[in-house]
Amino acid sequence: MDRHTRQCVRERADNRCEYCRLPQQRSPAAYLQIEHIIPRKHAGDDEPENLALACIDCNLAKSSNLAGIVPATGHTVELLNPRSQRRDEHFAWQGTLLAGCPPDSQQGSPTAHFFQPRVSTGCRSITILLSMQRTNGKRHCLAFEYASEPFGGSVAIHADCFEWLSRVPENTIHAVVTDPPYGVKEYDPDQLAKRATGNGGIWRIPPSYDGHVRAPLPRFTALDAGERERVRQFFVDWGSLVVHALRPGGHVFIATNAFIAQLLYDALVDGGLEFRGQLIRLVRTLRGGDRPKNAEAEFPGVSSMSKGCYEPWGIFRKPLPAKMTVSQCLRQWQTGGLRRVADDKPFEDLIPSERTPRRERAIANHPSLKPQSFLRRVVHAALPLGNGIIVDPFMGSGSTVAAAEAVGLSAIGIERHRDYFKMAKKAIPRLASLEVTGTDLAVAARRPQKNLF
């Protein structure tokens, strides 16, 4: 589908959803989609007469269906065709619901006039669409049927991120900020059990040092060729799903380490993202610098590896359309750049940080918990205009979602492990409520963004 065709479809629809008539300006969180009235799977083509402009809810509700079932009668009827049928002849607003009009007995079969668009799902979909506000108790339009928990303008979802990303319409989310498990085996149930009992497995259980108990960490140096290929393919596949869901110009901030970084970055580029640099979290930990295992006394002057004093975060971006400038991308997609700390101070790729404070670990006992003082700066930078949706596909205990809530932004967290999802539901509001001296002032914490959901 070429650019001219897309523009014609938008102009014909007057930049409104052709099913529910939602205007683009009332849907800042999701760009209206061009959908196939007869889907490609049913031999539909890209001709303008088979294309319609649809909001995210109508597009998801319609999916690849051609017909639906009227609940009251069991009749199967075709869905509304915006090219050949008038919506106002079949539907009317009843408060906050878009309801089917009763059939006219003088106008023939009820299947021609009753509940033609989105028969069994239309009203539910419109209800969701009209409740995309910062209100508790409403199901988020991107939660689908998964278990979820709302937090102000954000939501935590219990789902596998691969499955969830595959269902998100193209060009929907604005940014990704995440710390993944690297898809090897460190969060497989058997490895988590070994870590809990101190047996290690892939998790290295370091000895205490100078009175400090050191946290377990995955031994990525122990990965064999097959496991490294598994990591690579995991992120190629994941990257391609992220590219589909991201708006053009949307940024990805992804935590890594010195052993995995090169492999990770190559895989994400192969998945379709463009490499834009690294963010260095400057933090001195108690990890690394150890003498050779089981030979410490024999080689007291040797370290197996350098002591780690930083954590690299890869910065990637979904490519801009050909010949589109950053300013044009900002106007059309609200993406493309990074938000400045202040008008006279750009976002920098080195952030002096700290070990995650005890008060935060007391709230969320997750092995990869990052400090709010760092994450609030990252989520602030991820949305250049201060509006949009940040997604953390590997939510863990919800620290990224909490950081977004703390600075007045909206985020979606996805977590497949039930225990961590339960942890996040409790931890997110508590982490978000913490005051972080210095950081909160720098990013104007708790300044709410425009309503998106």
Q: Are 372 and 360 in contact (CB under 8 A)?
A: yes
CA dist 287 and 297 (Å) reads 19
Q: In which residue are the tokens 């049913």 written?
A: 42
Question: Which uninterrupted H or E stretch holds 432?
Answer: helix 418-433
Three-class secondary structure of residue 217 per DSSP: strand
Tell whether the model's pLDDT for residue 51 goes beyond 90: yes
Amino acid 155: pLDDT: 94
Q: What share of the chain is helix, strand, coil (3-state, %, to 5)?
A: 30, 20, 50
pTM of the predicted model as reported, rounded to 2 decimal places: 0.66
Q: What are phi and psi of 203, to 5 degrees?
A: -80, 125
**Residue 402 CB-half CA count within 13 A:** 29
Percent of the chain past pLDDT 70, that is, above it, reads 72
At 275, is the pLDDT very low, low, confident or very high (cuts 50, 70, 90)?
A: very high
pLDDT, tens digit, 9 for 90 and up, residues 17-39? 888 877 876 665 567 888 898 88
Q: Delineate the domains of the chain, giving CATH numbers in brackets.
A: 3-130 (no CATH), 151-184+223-442 (3.40.50.150)
